[in-house]
Structure 1
């Protein structure tokens, strides 16, 4: 779900650099307007019941994006981030740096899990993962208005639920097709530590008795690889102001011990498909 949310944010809140070829005074006006921009969005995502499940369900996704003292913030579902480096209008290169926090809701609600074997393993308390990210973006790859970005984030559980960390490298390409349409595609992966693997993908002897699944003790490492894309289309106004529709989806493949876990190989699937749609209003 975290990847779906991140990509919805990219599609909903990306602002193409349409002002780059305008006179300096007009660029300054656009920059001032962008600094006061606020986007609010609501949508839904078709996501697996748990990470590794072959059953999906709908979940709502509220979102908001704006600026504080020139710094951009994003709140999207269970994820929040802040870019403390202001983006400079008209510059080809932009750097990103700031904190990120995620509320991990994986397997926190037994009633939301259709498979009785996984439900029998019991609920896991909600984990709060806090960390930071660093990234770089280049505008003007194939034409004046597209952007290629790369980032790396690290989060660590501060609630002592899985007591471990998650690294997430990602690459994203965004291009406007017109003043009303924008496409974003991405690839990412998650690398997790041992305790994360055991908390969400392991089966203890007691869990095996309760669920009928075999005992399994995974180790950390690369958990998955994900690719996806989203399309944003302005319903009113253009991509910088008004109401827009966002539609897209992702494919994630679990790898290594995570794909071999009984929660995945027996009760679920290593192939994870998600979809999402929503409406975003930019002021």
Structure 2
């Protein structure tokens, strides 16, 4: 979760700190630009919410390449629109500072950083019988040691089903593995943190950081205009959930929700 921006983009386009993009159905929605408003925890592990606004873009180039930008996460597909997909990915990982909780605010600040890496995926559009769109996606991101060392791996699957020509419902699941440096940066409590906040010191290790799930709906409002809404739940796992700041002052279950509007062409 990000402190300064909600993880819900227009038309139920989501991008959580895991860089797990909740994408759009490709059927009848070739290109879109939108904006959404949502509520999300101030930081991953925090229990206080904030409101933010984020963009959403889905654009197919003349050469048939797909560019997707959902909140802080963007990727460019050099593969096919259906079938095997691959390409570069970039994510704006916002930091932690000036949070509402007086105790968590005494922990070390975390700088905003840009993460980069790549993704692979596979998309299948079934147009026979009951149509549906199934997509598998995995990406690896790092920030070249600017804030943390190592990397994190995100895997997920999404399913979209049209209930009519103007209405879609979607859902998905995912998980994140992260290096020890990443988990300790965002969930660790140093000796200095402990002295300032009163929380127990905590040295975090790497491993499974979280699992997640989401549900969303989108529908045609009029002409080129579509609207949507959705909710995204992350459950912290391993040392991320065991952190003293999460156990004593935060929550391991992180809910993000919002709605938005977009122009489709």
TM-score scaled by length of structure 1: 0.83
Q: How far apart are the structure 2 equivalents of 1:140 and 1:264?
A: 42
Larger Rg: 1
| Cα root mean square deviation, aligned | 2.2
Which of 15, 25, 41 is the matching residue for 2:26?
Answer: 15
Which of 93, 102, 105 is the matching residue for 2:94?
Answer: 105
Q: How far apart are the structure 2 equivalents of 1:158 and 1:12?
A: 27
Q: CA 1:152/1:116 → structure 2, altered by over 3 Å: closer, same or farther?
A: same
Matched, 1:126 2:119: no
CA shift, 1:142, in A, is 8.1
Q: How far apart are the structure 2 equivalents of 1:99 and 1:201?
A: 27
3-state SS of 2:79 partner: coil
Q: How far apart are the structure 2 equivalents of 1:150 and 1:4?
A: 20
After superposing on structure 2, the runs of 4+ consecutive aligned residues of structure 1 that deviate more than 6 Å are: none
In 1, are the aligned partners of 2:8 and 2:54 still within 8 Å (CA)?
no
- Please name the residue that 2:37 is paired with: 44
Higher share in helix:
1
Q: CA 1:141/1:55 → structure 2, altered by over 3 Å: closer, same or farther?
A: farther
- Please name the residue that 2:136 is paired with: 150
Higher share in strand:
2
In 1, are the aligned partners of 2:22 and 2:172 still within 8 Å (CA)?
no
Q: How far apart are the structure 1 equivalents of 2:106 and 2:136?
A: 40
Note the alpha carbon deviations across 1:41-81, whole angstroms, 9 max, x for none.
Answer: 01112100100111111111112221233111012221111
Gaps of 5+ in 2: 15-20
Gaps of 5+ in 1: 19-33, 88-92
Note the alpha carbon deviations across 1:116-175, whole angstroms, 9 max, x for none.
Answer: 111111321112111111111222288452011211111111352112211001011111
Q: How far apart are the structure 1 equivalents of 2:193 and 2:155?
A: 33
In 2, are the aligned partners of 1:164 and 1:196 still within 8 Å (CA)?
yes
